[in-house]
A and B are shown apart, each in its own frame.
Chain A
Amino acid sequence: LAKTTQPISMDSYEGQEVNITCSHNNIATNDYITWYQQFPSQGPRFIIQGYKTKVTNEVASLFIPADRKSSTLSLPRVSLSDTAVYYCLVGLYSGAGSYQLTFGKGTKLSVIP
């Protein structure tokens, strides 16, 4: 399984842009990257997914360099409600359309007023 590494925690003030980087050195050609957000006592919620270069949706951007050994989740202008744990997830393609999915240990983001 591809191993992922993320910072354990980050602090940010409201209104700032937050960038969380995940390392996945063993990612293979057919693997994909997704990020999830988790609030206490809830299941994780999908934020964004990408394969290469840059992906943007209404809540975040995902930057993936050409070598794909890392990815960066960017949250623009965070608010207190963005305080949560963010997980980097690498999809390992294991053939026949079957993917094993590996979560990182997560980054606890604390947004400060």
Chain B
Amino acid sequence: NAGVTQTPKFQVLKTGQSMTLQCAQDMNHEYMSWYRQDPGMGLRLIHYSVGAGITDQGEVPNGYNVSRSTTEDFPLRLLSAAPSQTSVYFCASRPRDHYEQYFGPGTRLTVT
């Protein structure tokens, strides 16, 4: 199993550009989540999904959209990037009845 994969590893955007961070898992996990990590802030939940077709907002959802059309994929979209979205983004997944989350390697995003 590849586990949780994220692409790209690094990305630089200009203010106002859009992009999609990709996340995929091959463990057939129902739950998937997106977090952002800023220095000194720990990890903050952006959006999460409890299954295909179901998504919900986390702590800091503004400026981000998600969809879950398949069990495997959970892309995160930035419609109009802002410098405040400069961060490291982590995707995670877990089975429905288990508490252990599996994290991807992260995407480091810089918005200038």
Instruction: Kindly name the residue among A43, A97, A106 whose own CB sees the greatest number of chain B CB atoms within 10 A.
Output: A43
CB <8 Å contact, A91 and B105: no
Instruction: Give the docked Cα–Cα distance between A56 and B66 (Å).
Output: 37
Interface size bracket, B side = 20 to 34
Of the candidates A32, A41, A98, A103, the one whose C-beta lies within 8 Å of that of B43 is: A103
Describe A's contact surface by its main secondary structure. Answer: strand
Does A98 lie within 8 Å of B44, measured CB to CB?
A: no
B43 near A87 (CB under 8 angstroms)? yes
Interface residues of A (CB under 8 A from B): 1, 32, 34, 36, 41-46, 49, 87, 91, 97-106
- Chain B residues with Cβ under 8 A from A36's Cβ? 101
Pairwise interchain contact A1-B59, C-beta atoms closer than 8 A: yes
Chain B residues packing against A (C-beta within 8 Å): 4, 31, 33, 35, 40-45, 48, 50, 56, 58-59, 90, 92, 96, 99-106
Q: How many A-B residue pairs have CB under 8 A?
A: 54
Contact of A100 among B4, B45, B100, B103 (CB under 8 A): B45
Question: Whole-angstrom distance between the alpha carbons of A101 and B44 in the complex?
Answer: 9
17 sample A-B contacts, Cβ–Cβ < 8 Å, listed by A number: A1-B59, A42-B106, A43-B105, A43-B106, A45-B103, A49-B99, A87-B42, A91-B99, A99-B31, A100-B45, A100-B58, A101-B33, A103-B43, A103-B44, A104-B42, A105-B42, A106-B42
Given the complex of chains A and B, what is the CA–CA distance between A44 and B31 in angstroms?
16
Tell me which residues across on chain A come within 8 A of B90, comparing CB atoms. 43-44
By beta carbon, the residue of chain A nearest B90 is A43
Q: How far is the CA of A59 from the CA of B31 in the complex (A)?
A: 26
Contact A43 B45 (CB under 8 A): no
Pair B100/A98 contact, Cβ less than 8 Å: no
Shortest A27–chain B CB gap in Å is 14
A34 in contact with B42 (CB, 8 Å):
no
